[in-house]
Amino acid sequence: MCDTLVSVGDDGVLFAKNSDRDPNEAQTLVWVPAADHHPGATVDCTWISIPQVARTNAVLLSQPWWMWGAEIGANEHGVVIGNEAVFTRELHGRRRPDALLGMDLLRLALERARTAEEAVGVIVELLEAHGQGGSCSHDHPKFRYDNSYLVADPDGAIVLETADRAWATETVTGPGRSISNGLTIPAFAAAHADPVKSRVAACTVRRARTEPAAAAARGPADLFTALRDHGPHPGPSWSHVHGGLTAPCVHAGGTVSSSQSTASWVADLRDGVQHWATATSGPCTSLFKPVAVDQPVDLGPAPTNRADDASVWWRHERLHRMTLRDHVASIARYGAARDRTEATWLAEVPTSAHAFAVAGTLEQAWLDDLWDADLPDRRPRWVRRQWKQFDEEAGR
C-alpha cells in the first residue's frame, strides 16, 4: 500500500510519496542515463517485452529489487511520478495474462515524456495497447492489482486512475491532493472500485490525513513530516487485520495485510528541481538525503530480499527494526538529531555522497545507543511474531 501527495500553490509544486511494500522487499535508488536505441529494439519489462522508442530520458528510480519498473521516480525534465495499488471490480473472477506492471508503466512514462501531460499520455497509450497485469509481489505471487498515479512537473500535477484498460484523469487545481489505495475520481470510482478491499486498505483514513497535509505544506520539511505521520498516536498503532495501515507512515504487523513503508521521496519543483529520498524503509527512522537525476551515488551492492549489511537499505534495517521494539522511546532518543540534520541540509544542500555518508555514521551511532539502552519490546504479541518471521525469512 502507499500514499502519494502533491501541493500546488502560487510558488510551485511539491510532491511526496511513501512506497509501502512487503517488509523484506528492499528498494534501492537506480540511476539510468539517457540513451539512443536502434530501430526495432525492444525493452524487457518485468513480465513482457514491448517495442522501444528511439531515445529514452535519463531517470532516477526508487525500485523494488526484483522488478524492472519503479514505485517512485523522476526524469531529467523535472517530471516525477508515484503510483498506488488500487483494487477494482475488473480484478474479480479472472486472471489476466502477464502484461505491464503499474510500476513498469511509471518507468516507461518517465523515460519517454518531457512533461506531466505527456507522461499521462504515455501511460494511457501503453495501457490501451498492452494492458496491465502480472504478479505485483515477489513474496506473494498471487497478489495483483490495478494502479493509480500522481504525475507532477514544475507546472502542475495530474491524477490518473485505471481499472484494467479503462482510465480517467483529473487535473490538480490545489492547494493539496493525495491518492492512496482506492479510486478517488468520483464517477470512475463509482463504476470500478472494489469497496471491500479498499476498506481493508484503509485508504480513506490515510487520505483524510495526507490531503490536508499537502494543502498546508510550505516546503519539503512539511512533507517529511507528513510522510512520518503515525496518525493521532505518537507511534505506530497496529491493527490485527492490517497492521499500521491507518496512518501514512506504515509499519507491518497485520495478519491479513502486512505492508511496510520501504522507501520515501519528496520532490521540490518550485525553483529548480531538488529531490529528497530515503533509499531506506521507515521514513520516521530515516534521513531524507538530497539526490539528483544526474548525480549517481554508490549505495553498495544491489539489495535483494536477503539481509546484507553491505547495502544501504539493509544496513539501515538494523536501526529500523530495533526502533520498532519501542517506537516512541526510541525516536525520542534520536528524532531531534534527525530533524536538525535535515534542517541543516535544507538550508545548504550538500552533495548526495556527503549526505549518505553522514547518514550512515549517524544511523550507526543511533543504533549503538539503542543497543545500550536495551529498551523493552512493547509491540503486541502478534506483531512480534510477524517480525520474527520476517527476520528469519531475510536470513537475520
Helix axes of 220-227 and 327-347: crossing angle, nearest 10 degrees? 160
Preceding amide of 175 cis, omega within 30: yes
In angstroms, the CA 353 to CA 88 distance is 42
Burial 34-70 (b: 16+ CB within 10 A, else e): eeeeeeeeebebbbbebebeeebbbbbbbbbbebbbb
Distance of CA 31 to the CA centre of its chain: 16
What angle is formed at CA 99 by the lines to CA 194 and CA 140, rounded to 5 degrees? 60
Task: Catalytic residue, from 2, 45, 203, 284: name it.
Answer: 2
Burial 130-161 (b: 16+ CB within 10 A, else e): bbbbbbbbbeeeeebbbbbbbbbbbebbbbbb
Cβ-based neighbours of 172, under 8 Å, separated by 6 or more: 6, 8, 150, 156, 157, 158, 159
In angstroms, the CA 333 to CA 313 distance is 21
C-alpha cell at 372: 545500550
Question: Does the active-site annotation cover 284?
Answer: no
In angstroms, the CA 299 to CA 312 distance is 6
Query: How many CA atoms, within 13 angstroms, populate the side-chain half-sphere of residue 302?
Result: 9
In angstroms, the CA 197 to CA 207 distance is 16
The CB density around residue 168, as the number of other CB atoms within 10 Å, is: 19
Instruction: Provide the annotated active-site residues.
Output: 2
